[in-house]
Amino acid sequence: MSDDSSVLAGLDRSRIALYAVLLGMVAFYLAPLESGLMTAFKTTDGFRATTPFAPPPAGEFTFDAWQVAFERLSTGLTNSAMMAIPATILSAFFGSIAAYGLTNLSWRGQIGVLALFVAGVFIPYQAVLVPLTQFWSFVDLGARIPFAFVDDYQGLINLSITHTAYGIPICTVLFRAYYATIDEEMIEAARLDGASAMTIYRRIILPLSVPIFAVTLIYQFTQVWNDLLFAIVLVSDPSNRVVTVALNQLQGSFVQQYNLQMAGAFIAALPTLIVYVLFGEQFAKGVAGNT
């Protein structure tokens, strides 16, 4: 009995220590969020009178910062959605098709093309800024396509196409890693039945791709939504500015309104949080490679 009691006591102490470490890690990662939320609900005087982690003092709790931030970011939120949603869907779709061609089809030069896709993943934004601006200046979609929509939203269209092209390499790599786990015998059986390459993709590969689509959609949407560098360089019309640019402009020139900036940061991050919530289960399956 004494041996069993000592073993149980040792297990209890180990479990308590594990829980303590986990709680410490949770507190460490959630502390900035708690500080930001507390700051967003304070008045400017309330922020100056307390520490960032302290709740708003009596009479200093307000939603004004949230209201002002939403009013100033609403146009940017709409523009970001118009730009990010097509770029996310198109880059994931083209990445899926490219990965299918690089995984389940055999053709000459396949390895070289795959190497180009992998190299494209590591090209930094800064390395393409100059040729990118020169390219869009030469193309000038507003002058070439006679539609008012294109002329009015030319900067957003350029930005969306740029993110689509920039996202295809990483989406292709992610899809290819997933497609490599699909049973080859099932695809070979479809070939023996006379199914074409596109029929196999449409009837077999695409239905099995839901988890990895969730992974790529979440990853790509987050990257596109949070981009600031391309948005500053490619979008010159103030009416077309995206939410990250609008958020950057919330900081004051002489007085820093930290409550306004924190509220704006949470509002700008809300769409990516919603995407994670909606596709979280499929995201976990895709990361685990569960087919």
DSSP per-residue codes, 79-109: HHHHHHHHHHHHHHHHHHHHHHHHHT---TT
Structure tokens given for 265:
């940061």
List the chain pLDDT tens, one digit each, 291 residues. 455 556 555 557 778 888 889 999 998 988 888 888 888 998 888 888 888 788 888 778 888 999 999 999 999 999 999 999 999 999 999 999 999 989 887 888 888 888 999 999 999 988 899 999 999 988 888 777 777 778 788 999 999 999 999 999 999 999 998 998 888 888 888 888 888 888 989 888 999 888 899 899 999 999 999 999 999 999 988 889 999 999 988 876 666 788 899 999 999 999 998 888 887 777 777 766 544
Contact call for residues 118 and 210 (beta carbons, < 8 A): no
Q: Which residue has the tokens 């995984």?
A: 103
Domain limits, the chain: 2-49, 66-288
Contact call for residues 243 and 250 (beta carbons, < 8 A): no
Burial 247-263 (b: 16+ CB within 10 A, else e): beebeeeeeebbbbbbb
66-288 carries CATH number 1.10.3720.10: yes
Measured CA to CA, the distance from residue 244 to residue 73 in angstroms comes to 9
Alpha helices by DSSP H, listed for the chain, are: 2-40, 44-49, 64-103, 110-121, 129-139, 141-144, 148-152, 154-179, 184-192, 197-200, 206-208, 210-225, 229-234, 243-248, 258-288
Contact call for residues 269 and 262 (beta carbons, < 8 A): no
